[in-house]
């Protein structure tokens, strides 16, 4: 099954997550099919307030969900907030 989930990157104590489309059986930090966005939880807290906290390609999310991909719980809330901010 294909899932849309977060893949952690960044340094220690500085998390940065990529929103990726991956096979459920692959490692969370391993191979993925496509990168469709990112989430930076430190963006609002850091000194540089101009950092972008969330970017999601909603067209690709719609494409993959129409093909049967499942969204993880956290990605579902991020996509929901991205749709609300894009309107």
Q: 58-66 and 73-86 are packed helices; what angle lies between their axes, rounded to 10 degrees?
A: 130
Host domain of residue 82? 2-86
Instruction: With CA atoms as reference, report the closest residue to 36 among 73, 1, 65, 68.
Output: 65
Res. 32: pLDDT tops 80:
yes
Q: Could you tell me the pTM of the whole model? A: 0.90
| Neighbouring residues of 17: CB distance < 8 A, sequence distance ≥ 6 | 6, 7, 8, 9, 10, 38, 39, 40, 41
Considering its fold, how many domains does the chain have in total? 1
pLDDT, one tens digit per residue, over 39-69 is 999 887 766 677 889 999 999 999 999 999 9
Question: What end-to-end distance do the CA atoms of the chain give, in Å?
Answer: 31
CATH number for 39: 3.30.1320.10
């Amino acid at each position: 099954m294909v899932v849309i989930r977060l893949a952690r990157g960044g340094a220690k104590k500085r998390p940065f997550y990529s929103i990726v489309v991956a096979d459920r059986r692959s490692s969370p930090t391993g191979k993925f099919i496509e990168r469709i966005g990112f989430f930076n939880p430190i963006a609002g807290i850091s000194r540089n307030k101009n950092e972008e906290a969330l970017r999601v390609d909603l067209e690709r999310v719609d494409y993959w969900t129409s093909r049967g991909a499942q969204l993880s719980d956290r990605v579902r809330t991020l996509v929901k907030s991205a749709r609300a901010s894009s309107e």
